[in-house]
Amino acid sequence: MKPAVVKGAFVAGPVLLLAGVIAMKFGWKGNTGLDWSIALPLWTGAHLAYVLGYLAFGIVLAALWTRARTQARLLADVLGVAGLIGLIAIQGQMVIDLIAGFRAEDRAGLGAITRSIRDLPGFESFFYGVVPSLQLGAVTLLVILLAVRRHVPLWAAGTFVVGAVCVGTQVTALMVLGGVALCAALPAMRSEDRRVPAMA
């Protein structure tokens, strides 16, 4: 993959996810009385931002995985596989939600379609349970691993971890704050693996 694409993913990933959070939490969920002609584009736009953002995070995962394998191959491989499984699950969730949105005629119909899909055997646990969180969790642990080996700036790693924890709370204000933290931290880690000198 071209270096420019990889570096761009470190910037685009958190920005797109933050955009998705804002559209979903403040647009879709914050305005339950919106006409469907406005609500559906909000739902769709938020999910498209998530899809692209998580794809970018998939590139970030691959880049960090590659770097970490030179330091701790087995651990990096376990985290990489876990992150890939999480990526598949979260993208599956987004596709399911988009299909449900296009099939629905209103917000109530969307809820009914989504519930019927989630009732299918295994769908709730894989696409909507803890599995999707494996992607961000794996990226976070790879960042910590690289920070311990001083291959990414410590301030960026610390900021990323705090941001990831905030996003994981699913509390709107903390998710936005966490998204901003990820936007600040991740671009600082986009350079190729270069050892960060220890402080004197």
Asked if the structure places residue 199 within a domain, the reply is no
- Whole-model pTM: value is 0.91
Query: Nearest to residue 139, comparing CAs of 54, 89, 65?
Result: 65
Q: What is the pLDDT of residue 194?
A: 53
Rg (the chain; Cα; Å): 18
Tally of structural domains, the chain: 1
Asked if residues 151 and 193 have their Cβ atoms less than 8 Å apart, the reply is: yes
Asked if the structure places residue 81 within a domain, the reply is yes
Distinct helix (H) and strand (E) counts, the chain? 8, 0
Q: Report the C-alpha gap between 51 and 116 in whole angstroms.
A: 22
Q: Report the C-alpha gap between 170 and 45 in whole angstroms.
A: 19
Asked if the structure places residue 49 within a domain, the reply is yes
Identity of the amino acid at 117: I
How many Cα neighbours within 13 Å face the side chain of 91? Answer: 15
* Each residue's pLDDT tens digit, 16-60: 999 999 999 999 988 888 999 999 999 999 999 999 999 999 999
Asked if the structure places residue 67 within a domain, the reply is yes
Query: Nearest to residue 160, comparing CAs of 174, 180, 130?
Result: 180
Asked if the structure places residue 198 within a domain, the reply is no
Q: Tell me the pLDDT of the chain (200 aa) as tens digits.
A: 888 999 999 999 999 999 999 999 999 988 888 999 999 999 999 999 999 999 999 999 999 999 999 888 999 999 999 999 999 999 999 999 999 999 999 999 999 999 999 999 999 999 999 999 999 999 999 999 999 999 999 999 999 999 999 999 999 999 999 999 999 999 999 986 555 444 33
What domain range is 13 assigned to?
Answer: 3-189
Asked if the structure places residue 183 within a domain, the reply is yes
Asked if the structure places residue 89 within a domain, the reply is yes
Q: What is the pLDDT of residue 162?
A: 98
Asked if the structure places residue 194 within a domain, the reply is no
Q: What is the pLDDT of residue 17?
A: 97
Q: What is the pLDDT of residue 195?
A: 55
Q: How many CB atoms lie within 10 A of CB 116?
A: 11
Q: What is the pLDDT of residue 159?
A: 98
